[in-house]
């Protein structure tokens, strides 16, 4: 099992942070667009701040079970969160499936 996460820069903002439900929805949509092998299994908050971890399973990985995490800041705009999740999903697919 592989469990790795990447911490991304926080975006100063006066907007309300995205909820865990929002992050779950964004991550699930991004995962579906990248590969049918990806499944978002959880989103957890990282302490008192706006940091969250998206936990993803990859089916068909070299060493099953295969799980990794993607770190995002919920105070970033939804499009930025989606972009960061998508980039990390693509990197993990290349590393784990090929």
Report d(CA 62, CA 98) in Å as an integer. Answer: 8
* Mean pLDDT, residues 90-98: 76
Could you tell me the CATH number of the domain that includes residue 31?
A: 3.30.160
Q: Give residue 56's domain range.
A: 20-97
In a domain, 5, yes or no: no
CB-count burial class (<10 Å; 0-12, 13-18, 19+) for 18: buried
pLDDT of residue 12: 52
Alpha helices for the chain (secondary structure H): 20-34, 78-97
Has residue 43 been placed in a domain? yes
Tens-digit pLDDT profile for residues 5-60: 444 455 554 678 999 999 999 999 999 999 898 999 999 998 778 999 999 998 87
Tell me whether residue 2 is in a domain: no
**Beta-carbon neighbour count of residue 78 at 10 Å?**
14
User: For the chain, what is the domain count?
Assistant: 1
């Amino acid at each position: 099992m592989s469990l790795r996460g990447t911490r991304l820069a926080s975006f100063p903002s006066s907007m309300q942070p995205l909820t865990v439900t929002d992050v779950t929805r964004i991550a699930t949509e991004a995962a579906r667009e990248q590969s049918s092998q990806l499944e978002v299994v959880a989103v957890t908050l990282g302490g008192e701040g706006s940091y969250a971890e998206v936990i993803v399973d990859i089916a068909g990985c070299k060493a099953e079970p295969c799980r990794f995490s993607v770190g995002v800041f919920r105070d970033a705009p939804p499009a930025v969160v989606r972009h960061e999740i998508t980039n990390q999903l693509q990197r993990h697919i290349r590393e784990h499936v090929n």
